[in-house]
Copies of this chain bind each other. A is one copy, B any other.
């Protein structure tokens, strides 16, 4: 699928989401009841089966879920089976898929000191056990990807956990679970979702970079990638498209969480595109040019002051803005003045090898270092290029 291939002549329909766009929503996103640290829920709970129906109508390709989004904590085996069967039937009936499954290792009070990295070994064991059950559920629903978001893996009091011990335990858990999934012959891959803070003061594996490195130390590194989230890198003020770029460069972009966030704030999970339109454009362009083939997953929710109708406006807006940005990216790349501006910035030249690795190149390179004053004279025409981008975004090019 290539969003760039969209037929843009069809009027309004050009931005109508279709299953081939592979848009997915977490059950917890459209089902978000609007609770926050200072106030109770503002919307009624939503039946997952209703969500499936509504999302299918809106043009989504699939859904994602935590174990508890579907099966309440403490449900009996029989209840679980009934719930899962009803849900699977709804997916079938609506032609929706499960893009991603995950486990909630943050909501239960037992995880208040961490899950895989709780100081209490019993909690760590229970966390692994709960994750195994969630992997079973994901396998049953044919989830492509299973995500680990370690929201409770961290500290407020840094003195309480040796960070090296914590990483040992984190690695142990992921290794054990990857072995388990392989042993069960589930076809899923895993993706680690980093976050710098909230709900813990400092979370282990705070950025995409830390997660990519962690993965390189695993027993089955090929099975595990990352699930970068716009809001999470942005909270720390890091460039999201650079983070996704490093993940793509490493062949590790297994999933992506789309939403919007302002830097240096509580986790906002706004509608995709609601903040920093330019960064959203750079992200969509990067994903589409790279041929990213995983789910385009929205991990966001409607503003708390919305009622039930507002939730579906929110969902519509996420997908529509993605498609508009994809079209803008295509249009941008097709403009002759953009090609000229990229050339003036020498952007294509960055793809060329710097060295020839010739035998005596060192002396040549050292000699070229004497030319710095001369090399300083040229400009890189980034203002013109960036202004072109702003004007394409604003629809005046």
Contacts and interface: CB of A to CB of B under 8 A. Distances in A.
B160 A199 contact: no
Nearest to A109: B376
A334 interface: no
A140 to B, nearest CB: 15
The oligomer's copy count stands at: 4
A163 interface: yes
7 nearest A-B residue pairs (beta carbon): A395-B395, A163-B245, A307-B379, A209-B210, A209-B209, A129-B365, A264-B264
B158 A371 contact: no
A288 interface: no
A95 to B, nearest CB: 26
A321 B387 contact: yes
16 contacts: A39-B106, A40-B107, A112-B304, A112-B305, A119-B349, A125-B368, A129-B369, A158-B242, A163-B245, A165-B350, A167-B245, A176-B357, A206-B207, A306-B382, A321-B390, A393-B394
A121 B349 contact: yes
A385 B266 CA distance: 23
A121 B378 CA distance: 13
A10 interface: no
B112 A383 contact: no
A337 B366 CA distance: 54
Nearest to A317: B387
A278 interface: yes
Interface stretch (A19-27, A85-93, A211-219): A211-219
A381 interface: yes
A324 B394 contact: yes
A169 B306 contact: no
Nearest to A103: B369
A316 B314 CA distance: 36
Contact of A380 (B160, B268, B355): B160
Given A120-B378, A383-B310, A354 B271 contact: no
B328 A380 contact: no
Interface in A254-293: 262-268, 270-271, 273-279, 282, 286, 290
Contacts of A383: 157, 271, 302-303, 306, 310, 313-314, 317
Given A126-B368, A365-B128, A380-B112, A387 B313 contact: yes
Contacts of A278: 158, 274-275, 277
B35 A164 contact: no
A51 interface: no
A190 to B, nearest CB: 16
Contact of A39 (B36, B109, B130, B180): B109
Contacts of A78: none
Contacts of A347: 119, 160-162
A128, A241, A368, A372: which has the most chain B beta carbons within 10 Å?
Answer: A372
B206 A310 contact: no
A211 B213 CA distance: 8
B238 A236 contact: yes
Contact of A107 (B38, B172, B197): B38
A373 interface: yes
A362 B193 CA distance: 24
Contacts of A84: none
Contacts of A362: 129, 132, 180
A120 B320 CA distance: 29
